[in-house]
């Protein structure tokens, strides 16, 4: 049966060639990513930096794999790369990045070199739109592989979108924020995104208490 189907396909290709179509040799995009499992987070991040699996690769300046200690006890997961992060190749860019850095250094009493910060979606979304489900599907294996390589004591998701994508849960964010959640044998604590704190400065007190919960997991 398979040979018959191949024969029909070949006949159709000859017909197309006869009316002017031409063909080029096949090639594979990100073949190593598909065929070989990375052996370290450094190999994984190199693969991420050259990823062209979705349309976001057309508009980004670079793919941002992650920053910090690959053996960190705390792993922060943002939802997607911001325009300022993409343009400067800085993970703590802008006012949002400054707030996150201050929380890490002044409340957790850690350096940004001690923690690991990455994104669920590794590239800047097109035209500041929300990433699509297909774009998340292209990125999620990267993120979960990073978690397995780092093996943090606690995962911190920044904002409701990061929490929803990482956990596949659509629960009311206010009901889970600040709670210690069991996730794939890890402790996960959702907290407000720094952008939320810029718009709602009164919630900084809540974020401070959430950071104390995070610190108790170490």
Query: Does residue 198 register a pLDDT over 50?
Result: yes
Query: Does residue 5 register a pLDDT over 80?
Result: no
Q: How confident is the model at residue 60 (pLDDT cuts 50, 70, 90)?
A: confident
Q: Where is pLDDT greater, at 14 or 59?
A: 59
pLDDT tens sequence across 158-184: 999 999 999 998 889 999 999 999 999
Query: Which segments within 17-97 are labelled E, that is strand?
Result: 67-68, 74-80
Q: Where is pLDDT greater, at 143 or 30?
A: 143
Q: Where is pLDDT greater, at 20 or 183?
A: 183
In the chain the domains, ranked by start, together with CATH numbers, are 53-216 (3.40.470.10)
Nearest alpha carbon to residue 23 among 12, 38, 8, 13: 13
Helix (H, G, I), strand (E, B) or coil at 190: strand
Query: Does residue 1 register a pLDDT over 80?
Result: no
Q: Where is pLDDT greater, at 202 or 133?
A: 202
Sign of torsion, CA 117 122 123 128?
negative
Nearest alpha carbon to residue 191 among 76, 90, 102: 76
pLDDT tens sequence across 142-159: 999 999 999 999 999 999
The pLDDT score that the predictor gives to residue 33 is 41
Helix (H, G, I), strand (E, B) or coil at 13: helix
117-135 CB burial, b ≥16 within 10 A, e <16? bbbbbbbbbbeeeebeeeb
Burial class (CB in 10 A: 0-12, 13-18, 19+), 204: middle
pLDDT tens sequence across 78-115: 998 888 888 888 999 999 999 999 999 999 999 999 99
């Amino acid at each position: 049966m398979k040979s018959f189907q191949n024969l029909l396909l070949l006949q159709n290709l000859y017909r197309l060639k006869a009316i002017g179509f031409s063909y080029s040799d096949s090639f594979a995009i990100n073949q190593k990513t598909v065929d070989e499992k990375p052996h370290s987070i450094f190999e994984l991040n190199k693969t991420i930096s050259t990823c062209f699996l979705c349309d976001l690769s057309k508009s980004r300046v670079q793919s941002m794999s992650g920053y910090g200690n690959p053996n960190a006890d705390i792993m922060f997961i943002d939802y997607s790369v911001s325009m300022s992060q993409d343009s400067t190749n800085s993970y703590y860019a802008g006012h949002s990045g400054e707030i996150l850095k201050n929380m890490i250094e002044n409340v957790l009493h850690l350096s940004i070199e001690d923690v690991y910060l990455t994104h669920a979606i590794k590239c800047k979304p097109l035209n500041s739109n929300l990433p699509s489900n297909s774009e998340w599907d292209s990125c999620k294996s990267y993120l979960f592989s990073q978690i397995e390589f780092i093996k943090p004591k606690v995962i911190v998701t920044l904002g409701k979108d990061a929490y929803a994508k990482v956990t596949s849960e659509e629960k009311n964010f206010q009901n889970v924020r600040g709670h210690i959640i069991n996730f794939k044998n890890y402790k996960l604590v959702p907290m407000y995104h720094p952008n939320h704190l810029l718009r709602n400065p009164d919630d900084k007190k809540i974020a401070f208490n959430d950071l104390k919960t995070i610190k108790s997991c170490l």
